[in-house]
């Protein structure tokens, strides 16, 4: 046994990350408010737990992979939470994308209890999670980062300590605004290409071979062209990330006009019932604008 992980939040990303920790020789104690998510992993060898506190018992580290700031705060501050019942190793790592301000507050509150917090959001999507190929950007104390690193190695390939508490989230927010604006650019190219009568699969292949190539075009392009909006990284989650980007930008007085525009398009997508669809559904905003 390499060590024991309490894994809290076994959704799209967390499920794959927990499986990779098992494959890496770690034991995993799992908790999720969705009992079915825990039960399906129990078959794979995860010890099913009924609260964050129970998961943290005997664990070296507690990892959270939850939707948004309030969920992480509930797991830290709530009844049977990690503040009152930290893991034996007194190390908490949040890998969700949440507010950097909230991260620094939790870092300070946990530190008063002798518990270290690392913010370590990820990039690479569900496929990166499944292939243990995530890019992990970590903020927090160097000693705590060093203790978390062997666990990161089981889930990712690019693992970078980017600074003090909250810095991981700050870098992730930069990552997300590039993803959103890049996706918008791809939508515009596909809309223009379609109206021009060019073959969209061929257009994608050509762009991938030149300076317009991108991860988004590679991974989401086929679903956008096929009109398949299902699954993947949800519109709702990107809208949450864009809200976090704008909060950070306003707090620091940084103008981000491109982010403001694409955020409106995500709001439009959500208003049309696309919130649970994958990010490729941003193209449907363009379908609606051109009445396609």
Kindly indicate which of the ranges 26-34, 55-63, 159-167, 193-201 contains the residues binding ligand NAD, using the contact rule CB under 6 A.
26-34
We find the least distance from the C-beta atom of residue 128 to ligand NAD, in angstroms, to be 8
- Phi and psi at 280, nearest 5°, equal -60, -20
**Cα distance between residue 239 and residue 269, in whole Å:** 10
Q: Where are the alpha helices (DSSP H) in 230-281?
A: 235-251, 257-271
On whether the CB atoms of residues 75 and 66 are closer than 8 A, the answer is: yes
Tell me the window of 39-47, 62-70, 160-168, 179-187 that interacts with ligand NAD (CB under 6 A).
62-70
Give yes or no: 172 in active site.
yes
Question: 215, 279 in Cβ contact below 8 A?
Answer: no
Contact in structure between 118 and 138 (CB atoms under 8 Å): yes
Does the footprint of ligand NAD cover residue 251 (CB under 6 A)? no
| 34 binds ligand NAD per the rule CB under 6 A | yes
Q: Quick check: 46 and 35 in contact, CB under 8 A?
A: no
Q: Residue 251 CB, nearest distance to ligand NAD (Å)?
A: 20
Among 24, 67, 150, 275, binds ligand NAD (CB under 6 A): 67
242, 177 Cβ separation under 8 angstroms: yes
Per-residue mark of binding to ligand NAD, 112-141 (x: CB under 6 A)? ----------xx-xx---------------
Interface with ligand NAD includes 100 (CB under 6 A)? no
- Rounded-to-integer distance, Cα 76 and Cα 79, Å: 9
Pick one of 4, 12, 242, 286: the residue that binds ligand NAD (CB under 6 A): 12
Give the separation between CA 262 and CA 280, rounded to whole angstroms: 13
Asked whether the beta carbons of 278 and 233 are under 8 A apart, the reply is yes
Nearest distance from C-beta of residue 68 to ligand NAD, angstroms: 6
Tokens representing 244 are 């976090």
183 binds ligand NAD (CB under 6 A): no
Residue closer to ligand NAD (CB basis): 101 or 206 = 101
Q: Which of 130, 172, 240, 270 is catalytic?
A: 172
The Cα–Cα gap between 147 and 144 comes to 5
| Interface with ligand NAD (CB under 6 A), residue from 3, 11, 24, 258 | 11
139 vs 193, beta carbon nearer ligand NAD: 139
Among 6, 7, 9, 167, binds ligand NAD (CB under 6 A): 9
Residues 6+ apart with CB under 8 A from 196: none
Q: Tell me whether residue 53 or residue 203 sits nearer to ligand NAD (CB atom).
A: 53
Is 61 an interacting residue with respect to ligand NAD (CB under 6 A)?
Answer: no
97 is a site residue for ligand NAD (CB under 6 A): yes
Sorted by sequence, the CB contacts under 8 Å of residue 229 that are 6+ apart come out as: 223, 274, 277, 278, 280, 281, 284
In the structure encoding, which two tokens stand for residue 292, read together?
């396609």
Instruction: Supply the residues annotated as catalytic.
Output: 172
Q: Which residues bind ligand NAD (CB under 6 A)?
A: 8-14, 31-34, 37, 65-67, 71, 74-75, 96-97, 122-123, 125-126, 233, 237, 241
């Amino acid at each position: 046994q390499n060590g024991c992980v309490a894994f809290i939040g076994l959704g799209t990303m967390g499920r794959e990350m927990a499986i990779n920790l098992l494959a890496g020789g770690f034991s995993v104690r799992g908790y999720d408010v969705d009992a079915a998510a825990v039960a399906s992993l129990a078959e794979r060898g995860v010890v099913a737990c009924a609260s964050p506190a129970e998961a943290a018992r005997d664990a070296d580290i507690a990892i959270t992979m939850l939707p948004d700031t309030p969920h992480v705060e509930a797991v830290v501050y709530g009844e049977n939470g990690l503040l009152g019942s930290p893991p034996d190793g007194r190390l908490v790592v949040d890998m969700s994308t949440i507010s950097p301000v909230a991260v620094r507050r939790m870092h300070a509150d946990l530190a008063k209890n002798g518990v270290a917090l690392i913010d370590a959001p990820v990039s690479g999507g569900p496929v990166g999670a499944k292939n243990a190929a995530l890019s992990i950007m970590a903020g927090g104390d160097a000693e705590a980062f060093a203790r978390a690193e062997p666990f990161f190695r089981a889930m990712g390939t690019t693992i970078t300590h980017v600074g003090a508490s909250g810095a991981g989230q700050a870098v992730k927010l930069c990552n997300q605004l590039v993803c959103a604006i890049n996706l918008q650019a791809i939508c515009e190219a596909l809309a223009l290409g379609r109206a021009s009568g060019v073959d969209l699969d061929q257009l994608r292949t050509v762009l991938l071979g030149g300076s317009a190539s991108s991860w988004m075009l590679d991974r989401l392009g086929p679903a956008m062209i096929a009109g398949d909006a299902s699954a993947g990284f949800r519109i709702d989650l990107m809208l949450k990330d864009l809200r976090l980007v704008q909060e950070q930008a306003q707090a620091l007085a940084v103008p981000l006009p491109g982010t403001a525009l694409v955020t409106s398009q995500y709001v439009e997508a959500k208003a049309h019932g696309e919130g649970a669809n994958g990010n490729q559904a941003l193209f449907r905003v363009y379908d609606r604008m051109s009445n396609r």
